[in-house]
Structure 1
Amino acid sequence: MKRRHTARLAAGILAAGLILTGCAAGENGTRSSDRSEGGYRAPDARQDAGPDARKDDAPEGEQRTRPPADWLSTFALDVDTASYGYARRTLSEGRLPDPTSVRPEEFVNSFRPDYPRPERDGFSVTIDGARTGDEGWSLVRVGLATAAADRKGERPPAALTFVVDISGSMAETGRLDLVKKSLGILTDELRDDDSVALVTFSDEAETRLPMTKVKGQRERIHGIVDELRTTSSTNVEAGVRTGYDVAVEGHREGATNRVVLLSDALANTGDTDARSILDRIDKERREYGITLFGVGVGSDYGDAFMEQLADKGDGHTTYVSTVEQARKVFVDQLPTNIELRARDAKAQVAFDPKTVERFRLIGYENREVADEDFRNDKVDGGEVGAGHTVTALYAVKTRPGRSGPLATATVRWLDPKNRAAHENTGSVGTSALTSSLWAAGHDSLQLTAVSAYFADRLRGGDLPGAPRLAELAERSGAIADRSGSKVVRELTEAIRQADRLLARRGETESGDPYMG
């Protein structure tokens, strides 16, 4: 039985979007948008090995196990992208990211496949896959999508409490100056009926602006933001605690209430252990529906600390290093931050033991939910906004010569307004795995595979069938050429940078994990 980990939100906001289409169809009529690659053996075999798992007689050096007894995979939805954004920043500076900061699901969810959208609130379910050519392994992709954001101005009003880090570490170029530009951009984008509050913190926290309607106050808000200056140490605990005090005091019924933390998350004053404030964050989430959105900045960034806070706050994280990225978050994707489509969303994928020999979910380790808690609506899931896609990628080894049903995916969520529970399901059969991953016409699934393989390599994994980094860069570059996508070109460059760093250190793709 799987152990439940702290659930991090799923919601929201940032998928650095590429929209690529493809087509395929699985058994049972499930529409597919492309196919993906698989392989097995990652740093920890959480999804593969259970209490009853036993080593099989795989070739020497391949750490494989028999499949888990329950044949279920259950996790809270997540569309965080901070891990990918920070890895790109680190690689651009000539450094390899810490493997503990690399989360494959955040690399994958930084790109938006063109899954079909539901007509109403809730999710569509799309499942597809493709063979990797490695000993019967395939990648199976589960894609979930919410309805697009309302562009007619009919979204609920927002009540946003900004908690801004003005400690000394934020003086680095690209930190506080980027935060100020981001807040300025956002101030101009908010509607008159939205509300904002502003709290700053260094060694202590200070309320600069109580919850205030935007109408008639834009100039005042701009003035307060422009006056922000860095001071001394970083007391994140004081900032978040005061931010939630202000958010609770200014809570608006019927509005989207969020605390937005903008920081490098390098806590060095006060209580620097995230656990000390998790109970408070959880209390306000449950009582008032206030969620936390973390925006990370800086060349040195406390990824793990920010992640813990967002997890407990039923929130999500992103990372920005340029004004262009800030504009994408606070302007282009603003509706997805505010329009909520689902609360406490979870997914459960059931594999058919008649056709599946073993499987593993790639990533989502800290989003795991006990199988029996899938329909327990008291257990946290993810909050998902409008126009989002969520992708989960599985390495699946099928049984030789078997055909028929392969997997069924079910997504469960609560209505944002009345918390009524809803579910939707999609299925796929082995016929969806007849094509090769790298066959022509499967750009969307190939991009999912490239980003997952890249992340797995950065954290020291070794998925079967995974191309070398140079080949991944070539695959990604070809997709960028066909689509003209800037974000895919950025992915390609990041892969090349990682490959160059490996070569510079005299390490090979077949060597030990290279992260340090």
Structure 2
Amino acid sequence: MKRSGSKSKLLLFTGITAVVLVLAVTLFGGNIRRLFGASASALSGSPDIQTRGESLSQKKMMRSFAEKSEGSIAPDALPPPAASPAPTMATSGPLAARPAPREQAISPSMSAPLGAPMPSEPLPTGNTHAAVRPNPFTLTVEDALSTFAVDVDTASYALFRRYVNEGSLPPRDSVRVEEWVNYFKYRLPTPTKGDFHVDLEGSPSPFTRGRHLLKVGLQGRRLGRSERKSTHLVFLVDVSGSMNRPDRLPLALRSIKLAVDGLNETDTVAITTYSGDVRTVLPPTPASEQQKIFAAVDSLRSGGGTAMGDGLKLAYEQAVKHAGENTVSRVIVLTDGDTNLGRNRNAEAMLESVRGYVQEGVTLSTIGFGMGNYRDDLMERLANKGNGNCYYIDSDKEARRVFQEQLAGLLEVIAKDVKVQVEFDKAAVRGYRLLGYENRDIADRDFRNDKVDAGEIGAGHSVTALYEVELTGEGSKVATVRVRAKRPSGSEAAEQSFSVSREQMGARLADTSADMRFATAVAGTADILRGAPQASDWSLAVAEELAKSATDGFEDREEFVSLLRRVREAKMFRSSSISGGQLSGGVQQTY
């Protein structure tokens, strides 16, 4: 009897357990499948056709630079390459060893060490990135206009290189397509008149059968050293304790010296710092007094908290004294973006405190350093709101690129509030999608509203945007491209208009310029790595072959091909780990 009773209890317990398991799978199956990558959405992808009710209104509103995210996808661990290039910053430690952050802002990211298993959820670190939703594929019958502000920032690509060189893929939210594309040099014609030349080119898409790509390129006029206006620079240097690493304050100080080397003798330099408090280390000093400036630079030491907002206000107060129509007055912030003290601890509060100085013509550049508590989201928003640009310095080589090779573009704006509007012909184009520029979106109705802030182009800067379009096969004109901009000290904008014919869309990608092919490869890679739904079936292998065919002798393009090869190895490594070590033909075709 006892044995029979035990069996009955066992059967009862087993039955109850089975019921509980069924209920659990029913109620929480979505989360379980998502944990193991087998949810229906993960398998089928997201639809790429925009519906009128869902996102059309979102697309036509200027997005907030403070838009928050629910989290970032954890970057994959890169496999050890057979002969990988040396990390750009040899002195930096592994990401896994970095301390936990003091605060989590928008989209905390993490990096997995080489060969580590992929975690099921992102592990917290201090690196924060602002998440944006990739532009949807839009039907022209619903909206034939696409309007955006130009962007010459390049920080996102330099961050990608740092992540890869340290053994990780970048967090999805750190990938901004336009900053990858605009990092590279292109052989665009020099303007013969006006401030910039507009270049249009099209081709079939190498990623999606039946679709084409349209490239809109702007090349700013170049200025020689003797042609530049008098410049007053205020370097605002973060000397807080978080900057006490070889890839932060020491690299920042070397960057300042590179910039000073490129100034004219009539230019002036001031240095302010912030940590637990703020102070002026060097009052405005002629660039000709280089020894005095360098001595002030060498005197800087790190320690204390981070009162970034107070430091920014002091720097602007210094800069506005020299602002004028014939003088460039710019604040250059060098920091890891961390801020934990002072009254103004976010971009809105910081810029609100100095809004009057911005309106008087003081521009802003944010230069990022370091990893582990890097505030990418804050740096980008500050630059956008400060009528400036955002860079990330991961090496002395990148410092030379920004502060020597591109110093004129960093210092002097040749056109401000630059907007681009593309009107697609409904008869010729079924739908389109702009790759990137999500946080530079402008309402169509504001294209000719000169009170609406837009982007700036510096001397010699180029801006490139790519559209994915689906042609109908009808009509002779594909689109009209309009560019609107103001002179640096002007208040009224001038407008130019250009037509794109079907013939310009090209018959074969191989017949297009190396610039077109390379920009396509870079944009495609970025779209894949940020997880854009429309790029879910795109191929990194195709992007790599396309990039290899278009390096055109540029060293930075060859470096991209090398980094992309390592990324493809990482993707294959992760897929083979999941499938028990066997790479299927499908995986090889995908990546």
TM-score (norm 1): 0.83
Once the two structures are overlaid, the 10-residue window that deviates more, 222-231 or 459-468, is 459-468
In structure 1, list runs of 5 or more residues that go unmatched: 9-41, 50-65, 512-516
The CA distance in 1 between the partners of 2:297 and 2:535, in whole Å, is 50
Corresponding residue to 1:424 among 496, 505, 509: 496
The CA distance in 1 between the partners of 2:517 and 2:538, in whole Å, is 12
AA matched with 2:560: L
Q: 1:365 to 1:282 in 2, by over 3 A?
A: farther
User: What pairs up with 1:40-439 in 2 under 5 angstroms?
Assistant: 44=133, 46-49=135-138, 66-67=139-140, 69-132=142-205, 134-151=208-225, 153-215=226-288, 217-270=289-342, 271-286=344-359, 288-300=360-372, 301-399=374-472, 401-437=473-509, 439=510
The CA distance in 2 between the partners of 1:45 and 1:459, in whole Å, is 9
Once the two structures are overlaid, the 10-residue window that deviates more, 231-240 or 255-264, is 231-240
The CA distance in 1 between the partners of 2:474 and 2:341, in whole Å, is 59
User: Are 1:477 and 2:548 counterparts?
Assistant: yes
The CA distance in 1 between the partners of 2:536 and 2:200, in whole Å, is 21
- Asked if 2 retains the 8 angstrom alpha-carbon contact of 1:115 and 1:126, the reply is yes
User: Are 1:503 and 2:572 counterparts?
Assistant: yes
What's the secondary structure of 1:307's corresponding residue? helix
The CA distance in 1 between the partners of 2:135 and 2:434, in whole Å, is 9
- Asked if 1 retains the 8 angstrom alpha-carbon contact of 2:383 and 2:390, the reply is yes
- Asked if 1 retains the 8 angstrom alpha-carbon contact of 2:285 and 2:293, the reply is no
Match of residue 62 from structure 2: 4
Report the alpha carbon displacement of residue 186 of structure 1 after superposing the two structures with TM: 1.7
Match of residue 32 from structure 1: none
Deviations 1:346-376 (A, max 9, x none): 1111100010000011100110111111111
The CA distance in 2 between the partners of 1:158 and 1:231, in whole Å, is 30
Report the alpha carbon displacement of residue 45 of structure 1 after superposing the two structures with TM: 5.7
The CA distance in 1 between the partners of 2:549 and 2:300, in whole Å, is 44
Report the alpha carbon displacement of residue 168 of structure 1 after superposing the two structures with TM: 1.5
The CA distance in 2 between the partners of 1:168 and 1:306, in whole Å, is 19
Once the two structures are overlaid, the 10-residue window that deviates more, 112-121 or 310-319, is 112-121
What's the secondary structure of 2:142's corresponding residue? coil
Aligned residues: 455
The higher radius of gyration belongs to 2
Root mean square deviation of aligned Cα: 2.4
AA matched with 1:124: H
Bigger fraction of residues in helix:
2
Q: 1:497 to 1:234 in 2, by over 3 A?
A: farther
Corresponding residue to 2:513 among 439, 442, 453: 442
The CA distance in 1 between the partners of 2:205 and 2:537, in whole Å, is 8
- Asked if 2 retains the 8 angstrom alpha-carbon contact of 1:296 and 1:320, the reply is yes
Q: 1:252 to 1:218 in 2, by over 3 A?
A: farther
The CA distance in 2 between the partners of 1:246 and 1:339, in whole Å, is 18
The CA distance in 1 between the partners of 2:490 and 2:384, in whole Å, is 23
Match of residue 58 from structure 1: none
**Taking every aligned residue pair, what percent have the same amino acid on both sides?**
37
- Asked if 1 retains the 8 angstrom alpha-carbon contact of 2:527 and 2:535, the reply is no
AA matched with 1:233: G
AA matched with 2:460: G
- Asked if 2 retains the 8 angstrom alpha-carbon contact of 1:162 and 1:259, the reply is yes
- Asked if 2 retains the 8 angstrom alpha-carbon contact of 1:403 and 1:431, the reply is no
Deviations 1:387-445 (A, max 9, x none): 1211110010111x3141001111111112444421222211112224232x1553211
AA matched with 2:574: R
In structure 2, list runs of 5 or more residues that go unmatched: 1-56, 67-130
Report the alpha carbon displacement of residue 299 of structure 1 after superposing the two structures with TM: 2.5
The runs of 4+ residues in structure 1 deviating greater than 6 Å are 507-511
The CA distance in 1 between the partners of 2:263 and 2:346, in whole Å, is 34
What's the secondary structure of 2:170's corresponding residue? coil
Question: RCO (CA 8 Å, sep 6+): is it higher in 1 or 2?
Answer: 1
